[in-house]
């Protein structure tokens, strides 16, 4: 597991160039990691295997507003896009996970548990809010009375290269949630892009022994005090540009105290119950199980799949669904995310990435709903 720390002394940070970044990707692959990073595909920045820096979305930026996402050419940065429709959750907590298979023979039935996950990932380009989201899922899947063995196996083998944000989308609100835009823990290495183009320079901070080992294999040189100050200024400017906020003060208590407020009816009139917000969210973890039988009856299997509290059958019990209306389902999602998550896990379920705002077809804004409810009360 990563045991990251933030450096106080500038002489502990290093500088690498594009050649160093290329070497990093190759070295991680040579050490047995499947290297995953941001890639431009189908008009979006998605997370896919990469083999070289040429796979990165150099020179592209993302424009994000409620219900709208677009890419455009602007500048020569290697890591300008913020967050896309996918999160790193899909690798650590995949959308579909087979649990076991049962096979029938003349001797009887035999249950074969699915072998533990063996994937060994290296994530490049992880934002501070996404590191916070991984920490939330660590709390859910590994730090309670029931540990998900497959998640734990993937997580133990994961190598995280964070990238501090040099720009923010209009939908970001990570400072409100105290999750960014600078990564301060939870990474093996953290990069800050000081300049772009072919002569790009990246300040690199080391957060673990594994990170130190990798840096020793890269072409680097010591960072100067001016480099450290430049990196700090970039992150400070990014934070200053973020205008969306959530006042989290007494919000958990407020949400629990107002289950029948008219604002819930207002948002329910717009919500399509499409579940886009939960699918894009980097912390949502709800699942269901699906059983499948072979046509010849010789075997059957059970798989775990992502589910959403916005689907009608998610809360279905004998007699019908517990949450039968769009109002009830949206209220459940938002109240859990910003309120009762604290009761369950002693932390917020929201990291301020803004994905639920961008990928909502009708542009419902969780920050706006929280503020409207607060004003009304």
Of the three residues 194, 218, 240, the one that is the final residue of a domain is 240
Nearest to 182 by CA among 234, 242, 248: 234
Residue 173 lies in a domain: yes
In this structure, the chain runs to a length of 377
Residue 1 lies in a domain: no
Of the three residues 240, 266, 287, the one that is the final residue of a domain is 240
> Do 189 and 263 fall within a single domain?
no
Residue 152 lies in a domain: yes
The number of folded domains in the chain is 2
pLDDT single digits (tens) 240-296: 999 999 999 999 999 999 898 999 999 999 999 999 999 999 999 999 999 999 999
Structural domain span for residue 268: 251-376
For residues 201 and 197, what is the distance between their CA atoms, to the nearest angstrom? 9
Please name the residue that has the structure tokens 């290296």. Answer: 122
The Cβ of residue 348 has, within 10 Å, a number of other Cβ atoms equal to 23
pTM of the model: 0.93
Token pair listed for 373: 């409810």
> Do 157 and 192 fall within a single domain?
yes
DSSP 244-266: -----TTHHHHHHH-TT-HHHHH
> Do 296 and 168 fall within a single domain?
no
Token pair listed for 242: 């973020």
> Do 102 and 124 fall within a single domain?
yes
> Do 124 and 161 fall within a single domain?
yes
Residue 110 belongs to what H/E stretch?
A: strand 108-113
Residue 245 lies in a domain: no
pLDDT of 107 reads: 86
pLDDT of 323 reads: 81
Nearest to 191 by CA among 22, 352, 15: 15
DSSP 43-105: TEEEEEE-SSGGGS-TTEEEEEETTEEEEEE-S--SS-----S--THHHHS-SEEEEEEEEEE
> pLDDT truncated to tens, each residue of the chain (377 aa)?
443 344 444 447 999 999 999 999 999 999 999 999 999 999 999 999 999 999 999 999 999 999 999 999 999 999 999 999 999 999 999 999 999 999 998 888 999 999 999 999 999 999 999 999 999 999 999 998 999 999 999 999 999 999 999 999 999 999 999 999 999 999 999 999 999 999 999 999 999 999 999 999 999 999 999 999 999 999 999 999 999 999 999 999 999 998 989 999 999 999 999 999 999 999 999 999 999 999 998 999 999 999 999 988 888 787 777 888 999 999 999 999 999 999 999 999 999 999 999 999 999 999 999 999 988 77
């Amino acid at each position: 597991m990563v045991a990251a720390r933030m450096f106080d002394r500038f002489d502990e940070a290093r500088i690498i160039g594009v050649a160093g970044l290329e070497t990093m990707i190759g070295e991680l692959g040579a050490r047995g990691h499947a290297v995953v990073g941001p890639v431009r595909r189908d008009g979006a920045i998605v997370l896919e295997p990469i083999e070289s820096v040429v796979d990165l979305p150099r020179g592209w930026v993302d424009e994000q507003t409620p219900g709208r996402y677009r890419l455009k050419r602007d500048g020569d940065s290697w890591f300008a896009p913020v967050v896309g429709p996918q999160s790193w959750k899909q690798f650590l907590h995949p959308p579909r996970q087979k649990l076991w298979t049962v096979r029938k023979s003349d001797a009887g039935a035999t249950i074969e548990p699915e072998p533990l996950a063996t994937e060994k990932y290296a994530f490049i380009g992880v934002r501070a809010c996404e590191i916070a989201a991984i920490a939330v899922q660590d709390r859910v899947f590994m730090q309670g009375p029931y540990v998900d063995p497959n998640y734990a196996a993937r997580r133990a083998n994961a190598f995280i290269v964070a990238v501090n944000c040099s720009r923010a989308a209009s939908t970001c609100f990570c400072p409100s949630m105290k999750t960014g835009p600078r990564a301060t823990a939870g990474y093996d290495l953290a990069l800050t892009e000081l300049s772009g183009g072919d002569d790009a320079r990246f300040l690199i901070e080391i957060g673990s022994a594994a990170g130190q080992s990798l840096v020793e294999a890269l072409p680097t040189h010591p960072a100067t005090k001016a480099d450290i100050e430049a990196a700090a200024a970039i992150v400070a400017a990014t934070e200053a540009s973020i205008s969306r906020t959530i006042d989290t003060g007494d919000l958990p208590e407020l949400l629990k105290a107002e289950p029948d407020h008219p604002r819930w009816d207002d948002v329910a009139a717009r919500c399509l119950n499409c579940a886009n917000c939960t699918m894009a969210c980097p912390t949502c973890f709800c699942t269901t199980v699906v059983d499948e039988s072979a046509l010849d009856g010789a075997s059957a299997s059970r798989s775990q799949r992502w589910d959403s509290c916005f689907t009608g059958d998610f809360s279905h019990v004998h007699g019908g669904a517990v949450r039968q209306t769009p109002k009830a389902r949206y209220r459940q999602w938002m109240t859990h995310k910003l309120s009762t998550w604290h009761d369950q896990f002693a932390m917020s379920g929201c990291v301020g990435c803004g994905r639920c705002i961008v990928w909502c077809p009708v542009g419902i804004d969780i920050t706006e709903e929280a503020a409207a409810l607060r004003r009304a009360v």
